[in-house]
Structure 1
């Protein structure tokens, strides 16, 4: 019974972090869409703009020019990934680095699924660039997914290292 309580408490913390990310992501998207018109850009620094753009595809606008089927596909992928991540969080609540990675990915996935369901596209507004070369615009959810993925890979590499044999 103690294990169940510990598992419940552990997953609640990680789901709370994911929920905070979803809220932050959605608040920033609401703020940008109520302040900017589509395509509008505001220079902030010599390497960063705020811009309002829509992405009907996935990362780096992958499949963005397709006929619309990708909205449903990426929504289903996001929901499926979220369910699997919750399963992994339930299974590994004490694994801090792994749980951080999963919570970040979960929050980002849900944030972008909300956009796809409500608007048919993901709202992007962060524009990093050097000279005339722009990174594809992104949002808080995308950032969380990327940071979570890096943490996940680092955690897996760290787990894969075995101590040297003493023989």
Structure 2
């Protein structure tokens, strides 16, 4: 479980520190855009009141609290399932990335009322209008990691009989 805790803390801190540096210290909130390595990596200021890519962006306070509740419920489920499944190694780290990233976005919603986003990536003549943050990357990496690395419960059931 130390890997889960460690990955969660690292994901949480990396996300929050990156947001502080880019949005507050570099004043992205004010200048709105910085071309870092165009068109591949750019900083674009974003306030996400919905879920990924701004889906379900109702902007209401009830929606904000519902999204916080859903994120906390998912974190709780993944944590309990990880302990019950006795995840180890990369699977435990994947669970930690998912939990840490989700909690970082929850903190944003509690502080700002929305999730701060700043990363924009485009390529090959396609102008991507969406922005995201490192917590989103950690959540995605953790979910994909769990899909491929978590133990198969059917394999455990077949061992007994």
TM class, shorter-length? 0.7 to 0.9
| CA distance in structure 2 between the partners assigned to 1:58 and 1:96 by the alignment | 29
What do residues 81-128 of structure 1 show as CA deviations (whole Å, max 9, x unaligned)?
A: 111122122223343232122111101110100001111000001100
Unpaired runs of 5+ residues, structure 1, are 1-10, 163-167
Report the equivalent of 2:111. Answer: 118
Higher radius of gyration, 1 or 2: 1
Q: Which fold has the larger relative contact order, with Cα–Cα distance below 8 Å and residues 6 or more apart in sequence?
A: 2
Report the equivalent of 1:100. Answer: 93
| CA distance in structure 2 between the partners assigned to 1:56 and 1:94 by the alignment | 33
Structure 1 residue corresponding to 2:80, chosen from 82, 87, 96: 87
> TM-score when scaled to structure 1?
0.80
Q: Check whether the contact 1:39–1:53 (CA below 8 A) recurs between aligned residues.
A: no
Structure 2 residue corresponding to 1:23, chosen from 13, 34, 49: 13
- Structure 1 38/71 Cα, relative in aligned 2: closer, same or farther at 3 Å? farther
Alpha-carbon deviation of 1:73? 0.8
Report the equivalent of 2:145. Answer: 151
Q: Check whether the contact 1:92–1:99 (CA below 8 A) recurs between aligned residues.
A: no
RMSD (Å), alpha carbons: 2.1
Which consecutive segments of 4 or more residues in structure 1 shift more than 6 A? Answer: none
Report the equivalent of 2:135. Answer: 141
Equivalent pairs, count:
151
- Structure 1 92/81 Cα, relative in aligned 2: closer, same or farther at 3 Å? same
| CA distance in structure 2 between the partners assigned to 1:82 and 1:161 by the alignment | 24
Report the equivalent of 1:71. Answer: 64
Q: Check whether the contact 2:3–2:92 (CA below 8 A) recurs between aligned residues.
A: no
> TM-score when scaled to structure 2?
0.83
Q: Check whether the contact 1:98–1:155 (CA below 8 A) recurs between aligned residues.
A: yes
Unpaired runs of 5+ residues, structure 2, are 156-161
Structure 1 residue corresponding to 2:4, chosen from 10, 14, 37: 14
- Structure 2 SS opposite 1:133: coil
